[in-house]
A and B are shown apart, each in its own frame.
Chain A
Amino acid sequence: MGPSEHPGEQLGDHLFRRESGRIVATLTRIFGVHNLALAEDVVQDAFCRALEVWKFRGVPENPSAWLMVTAKNRALDVLRRERTARTFAPELGRFLESEWTLSPAVEENFAPHAIKDDQLRMMFSCCHPRLSEEAQVALMLHILCGFTVDEVAAAFVSSHAAMEKRITRAKKILAGSKKLFDIADAHDFGARLPAVHRALYLLFNEGYHGASAESAVRAELCREAMRLVAPLREHPLAATPATFALSALMSLHAARLPARLDSSGELRSLGDQDRSQWDTNLVGEGQKLLDLSASGPELTEYHLEAAIAWAHAVAPRAEDTNWEMIVSLYDKLMAIRPSPVVALNRAIAIAQRNGPERGLEEIRAIANSDRLASYPFYHAALGEFELRAGRADAARDHFRAALALARSPMERTFLSHRLAACTAAVTTVP
């Protein structure tokens, strides 16, 4: 058989990367978390084989299954060869000792439902309390999404050396934790779930608001976060209202991604976006998830943020936005999870409802606003309100400050256009 007619067509985008994450999780379950590096080697080997064979014979019918089987066979080789020299997963220890039980035990761990659980187990393990939130997110991207250190560094606009250090240290802590997180323990599961939510939220946010210049990178991070949150909705212990709310918020925000850049690749603010480009399927999905999240007594920040995103998503035109509702949602959000960024967004909503002067008052009243000093959109908001209040000179100073802090060429272009608008306003004033 020759190579397939349409090279690459049967291979989904990032198939290797995604499968690598899935297989590492499963192999780590079998080998034990202390053998994480061995699991990574075996996966690397399976991918080398795929590369060698597929380029001559074409992509097999089911590439994911091919990779899984190859990795499984390699795992069996390793287990047979090294079972006297190494210890593997303590839970499986005795099954691996005899040839009678080895193969069925490995087989069982490669069953589709077991692979799904392995994903969750690894996700929960990555959110180890000894790791910072940033390290948890980096580790998830690296292990579960198959991002290399360089790819993670690019996503977080960090240097290779800094990211290498962070991931190496995180892996060491994970490998030293003796065993993977036990997802069968309902108590521990419930206790760790908020950390998992938080890490997935941060991952999504990094894609949505992060400093990474390239829009493809951003969209990819959002997609990965959405891919990782999906299995939580299917697990009896993980399918909580907060999980649905987090999923809803991702879908509702992701719906707007196609309109964030205009046809010339420039950043568009929410009020300026071509709303016909919003993804109506994702809006619908987000709405459904939001309905599912509305049960039980718990009101999380994800519920509130999802509701805010929904209020924007259902406004056919910017001027139809229900700012009254959005302000009250921000009030509630400030009550349960106050932060300078939430306060800034609340001030922007108030300015939309009550005019720029009130917006400025609210911004000036933000506690810890020094933490916003390096955030370009803090200065941009000040500039916007001053401009609307007819003080173009003051506005220009704020936009200059914002421009100096811009983190990507896209932000720079956007802010210099706003700066130009101030100059135009100054010269047209008699």
Chain B
Amino acid sequence: MSEFVYLYRGGQTNRSPEAMQQTMQKWMAWFKDLGDKGHVKNVGQPLDRTGKVVRGKQKTITDGPFAEAKDVVGGYSLIEARDLEQAVELSKGCPIFEFEGAVEVRPVMKM
């Protein structure tokens, strides 16, 4: 088994409370399914969509967001899969795709 990080980008839209509740239930069902099949090393954390960027020798501080809203990372998870191909396949069940979001699948580098 290899480790992968899922970075969840975008996918945040204003919807009705009822629709948001349904979306959340889909996410939790998806995580549960991945977990039941032994692919979740760590569910991970949500990230605030604001923050600061510190850059360069001058250590200039600028406000986030760091990219366009559709590219902002809203959270990450640590996933276990056979290989990159399987990790990609598993990511396809993520509810983020219903809302024009993206999952970036990145292998954790092996020593």
B-binding residues in A (CB < 8 A): 2-5, 7-8, 11, 14-17, 19-20, 44, 47-48, 50-59, 146-148, 150-151
Contact = CB atoms under 8 A, between A and B. Distances in A.
B18 A55 contact: no
B29 A52 contact: no
6 contacts: A7-B25, A8-B28, A17-B21, A20-B17, A54-B24, A150-B16
B23 A51 contact: yes
A55 B21 contact: no
Secondary structure of the B contact surface, majority rule: helix
A7 B29 contact: yes
A17 B16 CA distance: 8
A47 B43 contact: no
Interface of B: 12, 14, 16-21, 23-25, 27-29, 31-32, 35, 40, 43-46, 74-75, 77
Contacts of B14: 44, 48
Contacts of A20: 17
Given A2-B40, A3-B35, A11-B25, A56 B17 contact: no
A3 B75 CA distance: 14
B6 to A, nearest CB: 11
Contacts of B25: 7-8, 11
B17 A3 contact: no
B21 A56 contact: no
A195 B24 CA distance: 38
A146 B18 CA distance: 8
A353 to B, nearest CB: 46
* Highest count of chain B CB atoms <10 Å: which of A47, A53, A150: A47
Contact of B31 (A2, A59, A146): A2
A363 B30 CA distance: 58
Contacts of A7: 25, 28-29, 31-32
Contacts of A44: 14
A148 B35 contact: no
Nearest to A19: B17
Secondary structure of the A contact surface, majority rule: helix
Contact of B18 (A14, A48, A50): A14
Contact of A48 (B20, B27, B29): B20
Given A2-B43, A3-B43, A55 B17 contact: no
* Highest count of chain A CB atoms <10 Å: which of B27, B40, B44: B27
Identify the 10 closest CB pairs spanning chains A and B, nearest first: A7-B28, A55-B27, A16-B17, A16-B21, A148-B16, A8-B25, A20-B17, A52-B46, A17-B17, A3-B31
A206 to B, nearest CB: 18
B73 to A, nearest CB: 12
A24 to B, nearest CB: 10
Contacts of A150: 16
A17 B18 contact: yes
Nearest to B74: A52
Contacts of A5: 32
A146 B46 contact: no
Contact of B46 (A14, A17, A53, A151): A53
Nearest to B24: A51
Contact of A151 (B16, B24, B77): B16
Contacts of B23: 51
* Highest count of chain A CB atoms <10 Å: which of B17, B23, B35: B17
Contacts of B74: 52
* Highest count of chain A CB atoms <10 Å: which of B18, B25, B40: B18
B15 to A, nearest CB: 8
A214 B93 CA distance: 30
* Highest count of chain B CB atoms <10 Å: which of A3, A14, A56, A59: A56
A51 B28 contact: no
Contacts of B12: 48, 52
Given A14-B21, A51-B27, 19 more contacts: A3-B27, A3-B28, A3-B32, A3-B35, A3-B43, A7-B31, A11-B21, A16-B20, A52-B74, A52-B75, A55-B31, A56-B43, A56-B44, A57-B46, A58-B28, A59-B28, A147-B16, A148-B18, A150-B16
A47 B22 CA distance: 12
